[in-house]
Amino acid sequence: MCAYLSLRDDVRVAVRTGSVNAGHTVTYNGVEYKLRMIPCGFVNPNAILCIAAGANIRIDVLMKEIELTKAKDRLKIDPQASIIEDEHVKKEREDAYLISKIGSTGQGVGAAMADRVRRVAKLARDVKELEEYLDDVLMILWNTYQQGHNVLLEGTQGYYLSLYHGTYPYVTSRDTTASAICSEVGIGPKMVDEVIVVFKSYVTRVGGGPLLGELSEEEAEKRGLIEVATVTGRRRRVAPFNFDLARRAVLANSATQIALTRVDTLFPTASKIRDYDKLPREAKKFIEEIENTLKVPVTIISTGPDIFDTIDLRRSKGL
């Protein structure tokens, strides 16, 4: 979704928050990119790519993605971003509670966050390997914004994985709300014009924790809803779309628009359709139910893996 927006809206600064425990897959020009650090906006050659002050960087992952996306000359890292070290990864992977009960990805993010809270974490400014990328991300963003260009902040993980608002203790190690994304970057909420909440057409989660209406593996296979997580390679648990969960996520994030993904998985005849009028009737009924129930416009609909397998209704809805 962020890759599509970066091209469609000619985003000039794309900022990634969060860390390596969330993977975002981009399919562009026939190539699939699985990203955990570089912003999905890399597909726009005009975009400066930034990693925010609140992010946690694993240097080995970042260096591989710089090479993969050819982003070396466009990447800017805030000096305040913290570093995930080998000891953090080791500590998490040896923690039976986190791995077995909570279902942690074991990427060292939580341990690194704990060190940051203790004020002993290493920061990007302390790492010689990152010196050439260091810059003031807030000022890059502000100057671009002042010039009238579009800026895109890319969050990670779902609302119900929020450390504060999610299904604790089956959560991640940071807040995942829109306000937290702004905080990690360093901007106030009044700078934000649009908050686009991204919903999958059904609910998934990896690891432990509640999942209302969870389908059996057999039923998920029957419905064609089998997914494997980008970071862990584990099979995702699946449940039907939950309007109550979605309503709370809209409220907590002050969502102004809804982007809906995996419509083609739920309705196979919708695959790769790029015209709303050509969607099957049942898909349109589902989308309209979401919009009417949540009172927020569904403006962007993904119907396939390619970033242009997208229906964009923003102009027709006056947005």
CATH number at 39 reads: 3.40.440.10
Q: How far apart are CA 274 and CA 263, in angstroms?
A: 12
Query: What was the pLDDT predicted at 207?
Result: 83
Q: Is residue 264 part of a domain?
A: no
Query: pTM for this structure?
Result: 0.93
Query: What was the pLDDT predicted at 228?
Result: 82
Query: What was the pLDDT predicted at 266?
Result: 95
Q: Is residue 209 part of a domain?
A: no
Query: What was the pLDDT predicted at 35?
Result: 96
Coil, helix or strand at residue 16:
strand
Q: Is residue 251 part of a domain?
A: no
Q: Is residue 52 part of a domain?
A: yes
SS3 content of the chain, % helix, strand, coil (to 5): 40, 20, 45
For the chain (319 residues), the mean pLDDT of every run of 10, in chain order, is: 97 96 92 96 97 97 97 97 96 89 88 96 98 98 96 95 96 96 95 97 92 92 85 86 98 98 96 97 98 98 96 94
Q: Is residue 33 part of a domain?
A: yes
Q: Which domain holds residue 178?
A: 1-190
Query: What was the pLDDT predicted at 125?
Result: 98
Q: How far apart are CA 232 and CA 236, in angstroms?
A: 10
Query: What was the pLDDT predicted at 253?
Result: 97
User: How many domains in the chain?
Assistant: 1
Q: Is residue 279 part of a domain?
A: no
Structure tokens at 165: 């608002």
Q: Is residue 208 part of a domain?
A: no
Q: Is residue 284 part of a domain?
A: no
Q: Collect contacts of 269-272 with beta carbons under 8 A, ≥24 apart.
A: 270/303, 271/303, 271/304, 271/309, 272/303, 272/304, 272/306, 272/309
